[in-house]
């Protein structure tokens, strides 16, 4: 069976649109949440989000081509380009049919959908853009990334809501594991800070309404949490077969050594209250990686800052790891700083795991001030820790009951 390693990573996020800036701000506990500027949200019940602010799309995509794509595809192309550059791989020197791509999204081109529906209503159906459909379909980001880099191997998108990015990585690992490809770009992209998206999630009462204090609004595992913050951006990893990477002298950040996935089969939006499905996904990932809960140093939690999710994730970690190991392992939520990047979340949080291993630093959970009796583990509150990290787990959940966990190891 072939091994899968990470040799390159690219990020577009509310904390910065390059890997170094993102990581330094994350470790420093920088808040990436603020008032919404993409549209006038003054009459919305939720007026805050984690927006991408320093992204130069012109550095990655020709202006004419930009107009034919939704912003989530812009983020995917940019993150992929940065990941490829970071890896140092030359696709021209590789068999294109042995190189593939899975870049996913939770909602795809939702802003384009909204704009084109309004245009049709106001001006009639003949005014709808001929690029409307290719702009909004979720798989288009993966397709466009393949075009950019000439990748002719396996290519598709995974749609599992907020687990999409991590499912992409798990599926790409499986493809390499089976020997179907030598290199896979894998990750997710999302651009869902739009009126219909914010209004819809607000109607679900899923979002924080701490509009007057955006810096403190995302507070995973804290007793006073009141919902998640919408985030946006893209994250892509270059996954490579170990021997292929070694032969070309690639720098290896970490190995993707295990992946587990289950479904709660319980509720449209809520995780199962006993957390057993989530615990099983973690257990399956650890079993494949050949590690026990006692060997996992760090968990990048799903940690959305919703009352239900954080409590159930805590219970699931205890069930999967056992009480002693659960109380020892370091846990943090990047969403405290980035907000919830939906289909990109599992990808950017996998990058956090790889960098924690590579740099020997565990980033904090910010805004953790009031302990919750139901969330009583070590959430690395407010300050990063410099420590040896050998094994990490990354957790993702999605509406519909989707559970995913990946294990990353030092190599």
Answer yes or no: is 43 within a domain: yes
Domain harbouring 346, CATH code:
3.40.47.10
Answer yes or no: is 215 within a domain: yes
Which of 247, 272, 307 delimits the end of a domain?
Answer: 247
Closest CA to 190 of 51, 365, 29, 10: 51
pLDDT digits (tens, 9 = 90+) for 62-94: 999 999 999 999 999 999 999 999 999 999 999
d(CA 224, CA 124): 47
Q: Are 105 and 138 in contact (CB under 8 A)?
A: yes
Answer yes or no: is 253 within a domain: no
pLDDT digits (tens, 9 = 90+) for 244-258: 999 999 999 999 999
pTM of the model: 0.97
Is 302 marked active-site? yes
Q: Do residues 140 and 10 share a domain?
A: yes
Q: How far apart are the first and last CA of the chain?
A: 17
Angle subtended at Cα 14 by Cα 259 and Cα 347, rounded to the nearest 5 degrees: 10
Q: Do residues 328 and 192 share a domain?
A: no
Residue 273's pLDDT is what?
85
Q: Do residues 49 and 157 share a domain?
A: yes
d(CA 93, CA 266): 48
Q: Do residues 222 and 311 share a domain?
A: no
Is 2 marked active-site? no
User: Active-site residue among 162, 375, 392, 405?
Assistant: 162
d(CA 331, CA 297): 9
Q: Do residues 397 and 306 share a domain?
A: yes
Q: What is the DSSP letter of 365?
A: B
22 burial type by CB count under 10 A (0-12 exposed, 13-18 middle, 19+ buried): buried
Q: Are 183 and 28 in contact (CB under 8 A)?
A: no
The mean pLDDT value for 328-355 works out to 98
d(CA 51, CA 62): 22
Which of 223, 247, 271 delimits the end of a domain?
Answer: 247
**pLDDT tier, 274 (very low <50, low <70, confident <90, very high otherwise):** confident
Tokens for 181?
Answer: 């490809």
- The pLDDT mean for the chain works out to 97
Answer yes or no: is 395 within a domain: yes
Task: Identify the weakest region by mean pLDDT among 231-235, 269-273, 296-300.
Answer: 269-273
**233 bridge partner residues:** 190
User: Active-site residue among 74, 167, 244, 340?
Assistant: 340
Q: Do residues 243 and 264 share a domain?
A: no
Residue 1's pLDDT is what?
84
Q: Do residues 227 and 310 share a domain?
A: no
pLDDT digits (tens, 9 = 90+) for 194-241: 999 999 999 999 999 999 999 999 999 999 999 999 999 999 999 999
Q: Are 5 and 252 in contact (CB under 8 A)?
A: yes
131 burial type by CB count under 10 A (0-12 exposed, 13-18 middle, 19+ buried): middle
Answer yes or no: is 254 within a domain: no
Q: Where are the beta strands (DSSP E) in 181-316?
A: 183-190, 233-241, 254-263, 298-300
Answer yes or no: is 372 within a domain: yes
Residue 204's pLDDT is what?
95
Total structural domains within the chain: 2
pLDDT digits (tens, 9 = 90+) for 141-194: 999 999 999 999 999 999 999 999 999 999 999 999 999 999 999 999 999 999
Answer yes or no: is 40 within a domain: yes
User: Active-site residue among 302, 353, 375, 392?
Assistant: 302
The boundaries of the domain holding residue 216 are 4-247
The mean pLDDT value for 48-56 works out to 96
H helix intervals, 88-155: 110-123, 132-136, 140-149
Answer yes or no: is 252 within a domain: no
Closest CA to 406 of 319, 287, 282: 282
Q: Do residues 310 and 236 share a domain?
A: no
Residue 269 has pLDDT above 90, yes or no: no
- Torsion-angle region of residue 363: left (phi > 0), alpha (psi -120 to 50) or beta? beta
Q: Do residues 204 and 345 share a domain?
A: no
Which of 247, 275, 296 delimits the end of a domain?
Answer: 247
Q: Do residues 233 and 368 share a domain?
A: no
Q: Are 32 and 52 in contact (CB under 8 A)?
A: no
The greatest distance separating any two alpha carbons of the chain, rounded to the nearest whole angstrom, comes to 64
Q: Do residues 155 and 265 share a domain?
A: no
Q: Do residues 58 and 202 share a domain?
A: yes
pLDDT digits (tens, 9 = 90+) for 313-324: 999 999 999 999
């Amino acid at each position: 069976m072939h091994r899968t390693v990470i040799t390159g990573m690219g990020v577009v996020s509310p904390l910065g649109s390059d890997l170094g800036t993102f990581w330094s701000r994350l470790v420093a506990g920088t808040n990436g949440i603020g008032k919404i500027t993409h549209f006038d949200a003054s009459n919305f019940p939720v007026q805050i989000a984690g927006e991408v602010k320093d992204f130069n799309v012109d550095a990655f995509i020709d202006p004419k081509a930009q107009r034919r794509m939704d912003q989530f595809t812009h983020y995917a192309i940019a993150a992929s380009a940065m990941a490829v550059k970071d890896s140092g791989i030359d696709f021209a020197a590789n068999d294109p049919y042995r190189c593939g791509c899975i870049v996913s999204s939770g909602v795809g081109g939702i802003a384009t959908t909204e704009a084109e529906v309004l245009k049709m209503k106001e001006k009639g159906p003949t005014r709808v853009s001929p690029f409307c459909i290719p702009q909004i379909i979720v798989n288009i980001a993966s397709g466009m990334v393949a075009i950019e880099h000439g990748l002719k191997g396996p290519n598709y998108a995974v749609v599992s809501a907020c687990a999409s990015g991590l499912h992409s990585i798990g599926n790409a690992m499986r493809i390499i594991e089976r020997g179907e490809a030598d290199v896979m770009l894998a990750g997710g992209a999302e651009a869902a800070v739009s009126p219909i998206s914010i209004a819809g999630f607000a109607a679900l009462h899923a979002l924080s309404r701490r509009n007057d204090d955006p810096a403190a609004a995302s507070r995973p595992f804290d007793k006073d949490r009141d919902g998640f913050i919408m985030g946006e951006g893209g994250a892509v990893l270059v996954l490579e077969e170990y021997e292929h990477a070694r032969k070309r002298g690639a720098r290896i950040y970490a190995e993707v050594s295990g992946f587990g996935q289950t479904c709660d089969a319980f509720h449209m939006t809520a995780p199962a209250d006993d957390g057993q499905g989530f615990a099983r996904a973690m257990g399956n990932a650890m079993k494949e990686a050949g590690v026990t809960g006692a060997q996992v140093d760090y968990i990048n939690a799903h940690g959305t800052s919703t009352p239900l999710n954080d409590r159930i994730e805590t219970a699931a970690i205890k069930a999967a790891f056992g009480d002693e190991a659960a109380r020892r392992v370091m846990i943090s939520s990047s969403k405290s700083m980035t907000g919830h990047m939906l289909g990109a979340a599992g990808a950017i949080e996998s990058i956090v795991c790889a960098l924690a291993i590579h740099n020997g630093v565990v980033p904090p959970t910010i805004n953790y001030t009031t302990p919750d009796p139901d969330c009583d583990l070590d959430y690395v509150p407010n300050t990063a820790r410099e420590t040896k990290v050998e094994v990490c787990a990354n957790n993702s959940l999605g509406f519909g009951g989707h559970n995913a966990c990946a294990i990353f190891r030092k190599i």
